Amino acid sequence: MVGPEEGCPSDGARLGAVAKPEPEKKRQPAAPAERRILPMQLRTGDRITDETGEWEIIARPYTTAGGKNARVRVQRVGDPTATELRTWGAHERISVKRASAEEGKR
């Protein structure tokens, strides 16, 4: 016979106990996340920054040289007349600011 001295309740009151769920935390809208991605994962609207300023992706990336190079058309943020064609090695990772999916739905 098992008694209270072994840690089992004699009346069975604790057998059906359920822990309370933690209260949900309110999410605050976060700033665009900085990530490092491959050039072929770029999307229209992503932003890249370099020594010449901040640029926005305006077209889908494409590859050349048998898939070894990736190119994408960009324009300077705030100046739609300044566009360039950027080229990276397809294996290089690029730092990108990407707005989250939740921000795009608002």
Q: What is the CATH number of the domain that holds 53?
A: 2.30.30.30
How many structural domains compose the chain? 1
> Whole-model pTM?
0.60
Inter-residue contact 55 to 47 (CB < 8 Å)? yes
pLDDT tens across 83-93, in order? 999 999 999 99
Q: Considering the domain boundaries, does residue 13 fall inside one?
A: no
Only one residue has tokens 């010449």, namely 52
According to the model, what pLDDT value does residue 18 have?
77
Q: Considering the domain boundaries, does residue 7 fall inside one?
A: no
Domain span holding position 70: 32-100
CB-based burial label for 47 (10 Å; 0-12, 13-18, 19+):
middle
Q: Considering the domain boundaries, does residue 14 fall inside one?
A: no
Q: Considering the domain boundaries, does residue 17 fall inside one?
A: no
Q: Considering the domain boundaries, does residue 40 fall inside one?
A: yes
Q: Considering the domain boundaries, does residue 18 fall inside one?
A: no
Mean pLDDT across the stretch 48-59?
91
Q: Considering the domain boundaries, does residue 51 fall inside one?
A: yes
Judged against a pLDDT cut of 80, whether residue 12 lies above it is answered with no
Ramachandran region, residue 27 (left: φ > 0; alpha: ψ -120 to 50; beta: rest):
beta
Q: Considering the domain boundaries, does residue 78 fall inside one?
A: yes
